Copies of this chain bind each other. A is one copy, B any other.
Amino acid sequence: MTAPLHDPRPTGPGRVSSDTQQGMRRRNLARVMHAVSAEGSLSRAAVASRIGLTRTAVSTLVDELIRAGLLEELGPERPGRVGRPGSALAVSRRGPAGIGAEIGVDHLAVCAVDLRGEVRARAERQGTNRGRSPGPVVAELSELVRDVVAEARGQGLWAAGLAVAVPGLVARDGRTVVRAPNLDWHGVDLGELLSPEPAFTVDNEANLGALAELWLGEGAPRDFLHVSAEIGIGAAVVVDGGLLRGTRGFAGELGHVPVHPDGPQCVCGGRGCLEQYAGEEAVLRAAGLAPGGDRVGLLAGRAADGDEAVRRALREAGTALGIALTGAVNLLDPESVVLGGALAGLAPWLLPSLEAELARRTAGPVCPVSVSRWGSEGPLLGAAHSVVRAVLDDPVGVGVGAG
């Protein structure tokens, strides 16, 4: 916003500097990508009409995007349209792909998603990561990443970036796991362990699950609280279509909202936190089951079979969730609450008591609670799509000539 006192460059209204032109070109490339991506396929004329540029300007942009392998031509359009026949454009099925990865407490997973949003390769490995040191876990994950990248390469795709979901607090640097109690990781710089290629970013699993909710499918709310679980309970706060990250990147720690302030001691130092009542281990304990293995599958199976102890444990967890969510809804006034991650699979037994508690404590209309359509796959999909969105948002960053 500052310039030398006697700036020799022309300034004032009407001045368009080369910076601005370059920025405008970048934005227009992104607008073309988003227009085509949103529609599946679109002619140059339709792109021009949609984004309000001339056909000539659009053709230049489209040619650049085709050369960079981000758009492809589907062949001549069917006749009957006004003007000379054009070729329909689509986002390329070859070219850049987003690689998503998840370090879960009990599994590792990696997938490649192309610019159209299709999962084109996927690998996973079951087995607990709890208490394992980060080095071997990341080495295993990197092996899966290599496999998935190789499989994608066989289909003409290359890795535009890697996003890693972790069940813990991630610093705003996008690489340091500050605290992942259920892995017993504290202050782990994953940036030192991950290969520098492809470029990576690390984020909290609830955040990435929320982004999947926001981006995939129709009619997602733009202001919601996404509650997720994998042993611990996390949440992500989405405000006006973006994540509220907090000063340190730690926003959304619903699991440590006090529910019964004099309740049992929690790992966080507090007492009676939500995790003590609705975390997976608390629910297993209340149901008289041993921890370990596919806990959610076990709970869901027993509940479906009518196991009264399991159903009661889930009812009580739902009540605790309802109390914590009452506080969250009072603070944030979201459009809705979405249960994602492992909670999605348990929703049939959690929801009735959760909703009853929320209603009981709410004056006026009750905030609607829905179940994620992506469930425990959400964080992995959100991770891969965060890379895809970055490519659509700035095609110059991945290979279109910088002008």
**Minimal beta-carbon separation of A393 from chain B (angstroms):** 16
Q: What are the nearest 10 A-B pairs in CB distance?
A: A246-B333, A12-B57, A270-B361, A253-B330, A257-B327, A3-B52, A251-B333, A250-B333, A268-B363, A247-B335
Which A21-38 residues have a C-beta within 8 angstroms of B? 21, 24-25, 28, 31
**Minimal beta-carbon separation of A376 from chain B (angstroms):** 23
Contact B363 A52 (CB under 8 A): no
Number of interface residues of A (CB under 8 A): 73
Contacts of A290 in B (CB 8 A): none
23 contacts between A and B (CB under 8 A): A5-B48, A12-B54, A12-B56, A14-B16, A16-B16, A179-B363, A237-B332, A239-B239, A246-B332, A247-B334, A251-B332, A257-B326, A257-B327, A257-B330, A258-B323, A260-B261, A268-B361, A270-B326, A270-B360, A270-B362, A271-B361, A327-B328, A331-B332
The listed residue (B10, B324, B333) touching A249 by CB distance below 8 A is B333
Contacts of A360 in B (CB 8 A): 269-270
Q: Contacts A7-B52, A246-B223, A260-B261 given: A330-B254 contact, CB under 8 Å?
A: yes
Sample of 16 more A-B contacts, CB < 8 Å, known A11-B57, A258-B259: A5-B82, A10-B54, A11-B52, A13-B21, A14-B16, A14-B21, A223-B246, A237-B332, A244-B332, A246-B333, A253-B330, A257-B326, A258-B327, A260-B260, A268-B362, A269-B363
A333 to B170, CA, bound (A): 12
Majority DSSP secondary structure for residues of A touching B: loop
Contacts of A51 in B (CB 8 A): 1-2
User: Is there a chain B Cβ closer than 8 Å to A4's Cβ?
Assistant: yes
**Minimal beta-carbon separation of A278 from chain B (angstroms):** 13
Which of A4, A14, A25, A256: most chain B CB closer than 10 A?
A256
A57 to B15, CA, bound (A): 11
User: Is there a chain B Cβ closer than 8 Å to A248's Cβ?
Assistant: yes
Contact B239 A49 (CB under 8 A): no
The listed residue (B24, B246, B253) touching A334 by CB distance below 8 A is B246
User: Is there a chain B Cβ closer than 8 Å to A364's Cβ?
Assistant: yes
